[in-house]
Amino acid sequence: MKITEILRQEQMSLSFEVFPPKKETTFESVREATEQIAALRPSFMSVTYGAGGGTSAYTLAVAKNIKDKYGVPMLAHLTCVSSDRETVRQRIRELKEAGITNVMALRGDLTPELEQTDRSRWDYRYAVELIRELKDDGSFCIGGACYPEVHPESPNQREDLRRLKEKVDAGADFLTTQMVFDNNLFYNFLYKAREAGITVPILPGIMPITNANQVARAIRLSGAFMPQRFRAMVDRFGSDPQAMKQAGIAYATDQIIDLYANGITNVHVYSMNKPDIAAGISQNLSAILGRSFLE
Ligand code: FAD
């Protein structure tokens, strides 16, 4: 099923993101964790693409396994900047053969090694080029990334939104945001995106922080603003793993309820590969979503 069909429905949707294993030896544990998340029957699941494309085969394997076994609609991520055109075409063929019809089309981060190479020789420089290629193929529902707090390489929000509009004009059917811990940042961004003529669905990305060690990493990767309420939670409960987990699930749930209450019907959760956290959030929302998430 195409993600756009899910997003068009009136009822609220909740989707989860997982990541593939980095090596063969951890494939089984990742398979198990992602299957437990799939058993919750989320609206859809996304599988990330390892930086540099090194784990691309696993992205496909995880996505195909869940689609075939659980029938959960799957969104496979694909990055382009560190790949040549033939490799990207091969990945697109593989996705089609596996029956994966939803692709999150990304540029990928610029690694220090990549930064040192000659840009004029890159086959892809921006996600918009991959989006055009997928659109020309005609088989995919295409997602794109967006940044309520502005992409770190962008000079300002106006320019970032101009580039985002180009991605939508090129064929992105929906957008998912970088993680936000303060919903007001998302609402402001949504307003500005609509003003910039971006009309496709925009899914807020919610990252449950359930362990104090995740905080520094989340800030480093996303540059996201941590509201005082959030920092107080980590200060107070960060040294008690069980309490932090409960508080982190509650914080994410609270963000999602606020989004639903304000008319945002589709929310994407960066659940990582943590079935207990995906289950905790789902169960907290069961009456709101009108279904039980217990097996
Ligand atoms: P782009 O849309 O190409 O934008 C990158 C920068 O270039 C922005 O500053 C933009 O304003 C600017 N820009 C865009 N087009 C142009 C142009 N034509 N000329 C000049 N400037 C331009 N990374 C992974 O490795 N694997 C994943 O699975 C993954 N999943 C992600 C999922 C989401 C929802 C998000 C938000 C990010 C994800 N990332 C992932 C990280 C992503 O690869 C990085 O944030 C990357 O730095 C930018 O990717 P992009 O697709 O947004 O790039």
17 is catalytic: yes
Is the CB of 143 within 6 Å of ligand 1? no
pLDDT in tens, 192-202: 999 999 999 99
pLDDT in tens, 262-287: 999 999 999 999 999 999 999 999 99
| Catalytic-role residue among 10, 17, 24, 97 | 17
Compute the distance between CA of residue 138 and CA of residue 133 in angstroms, rounded to an integer: 9
pLDDT in tens, 148-190: 999 999 999 999 999 999 999 999 999 999 999 999 999 999 9
Kindly give the distance from the C-alpha atom of residue 145 to the centroid of ligand 1, in angstroms, as a whole number.
6
pLDDT in tens, 24-33: 889 999 999 9
> For 3-289, CATH number?
3.20.20.220
List the chain domain ranges.
Answer: 3-289
Is the CB of 151 within 6 Å of ligand 1? yes
**What pTM does this model have?**
0.97
Packing angle, helices 275-284 and 27-38, rounded to 10:
10
Is the CB of 176 within 6 Å of ligand 1? yes
Instruction: Supply the mean pLDDT for the chain.
Output: 95
Mutate which of 88, 102, 126, 168 for ligand 1 pocket (most atoms within 8 A of beta carbon): 126
pLDDT in tens, 194-233: 999 999 999 999 999 999 999 888 888 888 999 999 999 9
pLDDT band, residue 12 (cuts 50/70/90): very high
Is the CB of 128 within 6 Å of ligand 1? yes
